[in-house]
Amino acid sequence: MRISISGMMCAGCVATVEDALKAVPGVTDASVSFADHSASIAGDVEPDAVIQAVADAGYQAALMTGLDDGSEREAEQQREYRNLMKKSALAAAAGVPLMLAGWFGWLPELSQPGGRLVWLVIAVVVAAVMFLSGRQYYVGAWKNFKRHNANMDTLIALGTGAAWIYSILVVLFPNIVPSFSRHAYFEAAVLILAFINFGSALEIKVRGKTSQAIKRLIGLQPKTARVLRDGVETDVPVEEVGLDETIRVRPGEKIPVDGEVIDGEGVVDESMLTGEPVPAGKRQGDSVVAGTINQSGSFLFRSTRIGKDTTLARIVEMVRDAQSSKPPMQRLVDRIAAVFVPAVLIIAIITALIWFNFGPQPKFSFMLVTAMTVLVIACPCALGLATPISIMAGVGKAAELGALIRNGEAMQQAAKLDTIVFDKTGTLTEGKPSLGEIHLLPSAPDGDEKDLLTIAASLEAGSEHPLAAAIVQAAKDRGIEPKPVEDFETIPGHGVTAKIDAGQCALDGIAGRGYCPGGRNAGACREIRRHTHYPGGGRQGRGSARIVRRHPGRIRRHDQGAA
């Protein structure tokens, strides 16, 4: 089970939420990721019990289901990002003028006539700004205090609250501190909130970027499917597709769910799954996978896996699990973060006492400034974010490139690798085909290689097949211009036929596979087939192209290899 968690402000919250989840009866393991504010729960437990446990700990949670659960969270993150930027701008608009006025001596002294009134107005304005731009921190600190916890909210509330309380006491009761300590720190309180809100907004931005790989994977699935119901084809949302339904896929469309072809033929680009740049021909009985693209042809297929059971959904879930997994380094960081805030509070108190007892005058000012500095700069966010953000970025980038990493521990161990052995002889490629070499039959005239490539490029110029692009590019690289063709015809899963210089030509396996189109080139194709054979009596190697050319009175066959 996966849930989305809101309200976590720092890495110290991770331990609090994990402890709350593990205390739920039936939960065998729980892992909380601060990087994407989610949790993975293992065990036999009801979602409501898990969500209630998170709520009792002072946070909010929602169950994550399906492929589209990231879209709503992304929209929420964007709203939160804009909200934090507005709060940061508000705090900066109040703090920067106050800071400049203090530097240039534009503000009156407390002892001057009307000076105290000016500072009281400033105190009220600053308090309003602190409430509007930092309310979430004070509310969070109070909730944690009631639960005997402490996190980043506690540090911010204490730091900014101490600055404001000290300043208002100086304004109202200036005689309680020496004259050289009578300084207000209102600008520090609001500027701290400006920087904290700005940093939180940047954190949300970073989290959004690390989830781009998931968004791209989810984007592979179309939103609708063309389902055949009661003899009528109807477009319905992909979520409404049921098992054993008949679905139509037309040229250029993405396959919505996993299934098995029951009628028709097509050429499907399965590179998102297999990494192979060459599309696979699909006919009756073949399986198709959600997210792959039907390049040509049209077919009907029966849905066999839908929703969370599709191959694409399982890939997305695997990537999510890997992104939220914790390597040994992250588990160590979480243990440190769990005691980080209490340790910072103790250090701040010790710092204040040291300055009060051993520091120079004005002791009160130095004591406040140093303690407040310790509280504010010791936020554990960077500590808690560094490792999970790195894992999310690494796993996500690998998924974009077609490599699925099962967990973060594998990534940590990969840093120690110095040798990698691939048991994939001949199949590690650049991801796109290119022309390797050309083979001519012994019966072909000498010096006919250029002529052969000219015919191949002319035939393939009108094709969208990846091998066609490789052949056309090879011809361009050698300065060969394709010739005009007539009666061009594409046979899905087989090849093309056309007339070049009044001669009939066929490329790829149309003739050799015993298949001929039923159109205007059928007669020429059958005649060519009678004169075509394969070396050794078998099928040629994958990734090769065969060209057969028929002129009046003579038929010639050429072989062309593409690697």
Question: What are the catalytic residues?
Answer: 423
Residue found under tokens 């001929």: 516
* Non-local CB neighbours of 500 within 8 Å, separated by 6+ positions: 455, 458, 459, 483, 484, 485, 486, 549
DSSP code at position 528: H
* Non-local CB neighbours of 258 within 8 Å, separated by 6+ positions: 287, 288, 289, 290, 303, 304, 305, 306, 309, 310, 311
Give the number of other Cβ atoms within 10 Å of residue 301's Cβ. 27
- Distance CA(174)–CA(111), nearest Å, equals 9
Contact 274, 216 (CB under 8 A): no
- Distance CA(419)–CA(104), nearest Å, equals 63
3-state secondary structure of 182: coil
* Non-local CB neighbours of 529 within 8 Å, separated by 6+ positions: 511, 512, 514, 516
Contact 494, 519 (CB under 8 A): no
- Distance CA(40)–CA(90), nearest Å, equals 37
Give the number of other Cβ atoms within 10 Å of residue 509's Cβ. 21
